[in-house]
Amino acid sequence: MRILRQFVYAMLVISGLPWLVARLNGQRSLILAYHGVHDGVADPRLNFDGMHVRARRFARQMRYVARRYEVTTLDGLLDGGPSAGRSRPRAVITLDDGYRNVQRVAQPILRALGLPATVFVPTDFALRARGFWWDRLRVMVAAAERPHVAAAAGGAGRTLPLRTLGEQKAALAQLSDDLRRLTSPRRETALRSLATRLGVRASADAGPLGERLSAAEVRALAEAGITIGSHGVSHDALVLLTPEALAHELSESKRRLEEWTGRPVAWLAYPHGQFSAAVVEATRRAGYRGAVTTIEALNDAGQDRYTLRRIGVHDNMTLPHFVIAVSGLHDFIVGLVAAARRLAPRARRLWPRPALPLPPTDVRAH
């Protein structure tokens, strides 16, 4: 299925349809969302979802973006005026979570191409020795030698097989989804319990891909021209927090990042992409100029600056897949289907079915 999908992507690119749709979407802006960029051989379990893009693939994508788009910052997107009359659509490059490989691998590629970018940093993880919970989860599952594990403590509910690489990836996807719904204290308890069921040690180790930026490295990125944005303090989903905890996440992360960089921090990336009307209002009150989501779409000129859409990029994206994703072709097709569904009832009213049944049509003749 994957090979067939990649073949379809390649044929669509050859047809020129993505470039036609991109021209039609010329007044809409693109915001790309990355996480890490690596230049080695990654354990498939530590990168099971393609969160860290290979350096060679990232460089090809950046060269494509540099040729086809006017690359700007999030501030530039708001301050640059309307897109009408521009020869190229505008694009913004963002990277979430503050992985160290962003400075070591991604930033030199961006610098060589003269491309600005924004890195969203959760401040707690730059200060603590403990890695992100999802990276520690991957290390635990990769080290486990048991053939299966109970998804929940006490052995109740689902049992996840772990015999093959495919089963381990599926288990990681399920466990990640379960743990993402918890606040930090409950999640840490769940991770310790899971480590016991897996027969491994619960540690702070996040693996080679999970190394985080330090405060000094965040400062160095800012001095090199990278915009630093907030990703909260703990990376907890903001919708799960009390109003007091929410206000702390937003104000404390902003304050600390401004202290580290000596520059204003005006932009927020909602952790896990989750937000609500209350979270948006709290973000405004905390003094942010805008915020980005993980909703996969291009941005219209009138898009609310606190709910900007982004196109997520992962390591499983070939260049044809990337071209189609950023062109807006997916949105275009969805729009056509929605329009067809809206017109279908009207068509049935204008052209009612005949009283007598028509002879069957042999579709094979076409």
pLDDT at 169 exceeding the cut of 80: yes
Q: In this predicted model, what pLDDT tens digit does every residue of 220-273 receive, in sequence order?
A: 999 999 999 999 999 999 999 999 999 999 999 999 999 999 999 999 999 999
Position 16 confidence tier, pLDDT thresholds 50, 70, 90? confident
pLDDT at 40 exceeding the cut of 90: no
pLDDT at 83 exceeding the cut of 70: no
pLDDT at 365 exceeding the cut of 90: no
Q: Which two tokens stand for residue 196?
A: 């016991």
Of 297, 291, 249, the residue nearest 268 (C-alpha): 291
Neighbours of 276 (CB within 10 A): 12
- 163 vs 128, higher pLDDT: 163
Please tell me the distance from the alpha carbon of residue 72 to that of residue 351, in angstroms, as a whole number: 50
What stretches of 144-237 show up as alpha helix (H) in DSSP?
165-180, 184-198, 215-223
Residue in the structure block whose two tokens are 């635990």 = 140
Predicted local distance difference test score (pLDDT) of residue 181: 86
Compute the chain's Rg from CA coordinates: 23
Q: Which two tokens stand for residue 133?
A: 């919970």
Amino acid of residue 326: V
Predicted local distance difference test score (pLDDT) of residue 288: 98
Please tell me the distance from the alpha carbon of residue 163 to that of residue 275, in angstroms, as a whole number: 37
Predicted local distance difference test score (pLDDT) of residue 81: 64
Predicted local distance difference test score (pLDDT) of residue 111: 98
- For the CA atoms of 290, 296, 298, 304, the dihedral, rounded to the nearest 10 degrees, stands at -30
Predicted local distance difference test score (pLDDT) of residue 359: 35
Of 96, 77, 86, the residue nearest 27 (C-alpha): 86
What stretches of the chain show up as alpha helix (H) in DSSP?
2-15, 17-24, 55-68, 74-79, 100-101, 107-113, 123-127, 133-143, 165-180, 184-198, 215-223, 243-261, 277-285, 319-327, 329-350
Predicted local distance difference test score (pLDDT) of residue 163: 95
With the C-alpha atoms ordered 139, 97, 304, 338, is the resulting torsion angle positive or negative?
negative
Q: In this predicted model, what pLDDT tens digit does every residue of 124-153 receive, in sequence order?
A: 988 887 899 999 999 999 999 999 999 876
pLDDT at 333 exceeding the cut of 90: no
Position 358 confidence tier, pLDDT thresholds 50, 70, 90? very low
Please tell me the distance from the alpha carbon of residue 192 to that of residue 204, in angstroms, as a whole number: 11
Say if residues 265 and 291 touch (Cβ distance below 8 Å). Answer: no
pTM for the model stands at 0.88
Please tell me the distance from the alpha carbon of residue 205 to that of residue 189, in angstroms, as a whole number: 16
Predicted local distance difference test score (pLDDT) of residue 12: 81
Predicted local distance difference test score (pLDDT) of residue 350: 52
Q: In this predicted model, what pLDDT tens digit does every residue of 289-309 receive, in sequence order?
A: 999 999 999 999 889 999 999
Say if residues 202 and 191 touch (Cβ distance below 8 Å). Answer: yes
Please tell me the distance from the alpha carbon of residue 82 to that of residue 28, in angstroms, as a whole number: 10
pLDDT at 212 exceeding the cut of 60: yes
Please tell me the distance from the alpha carbon of residue 163 to that of residue 283, in angstroms, as a whole number: 44
Cβ within 8 Å of residue 81, ≥6 positions away: none
Amino acid of residue 133: W
pLDDT at 364 exceeding the cut of 50: no
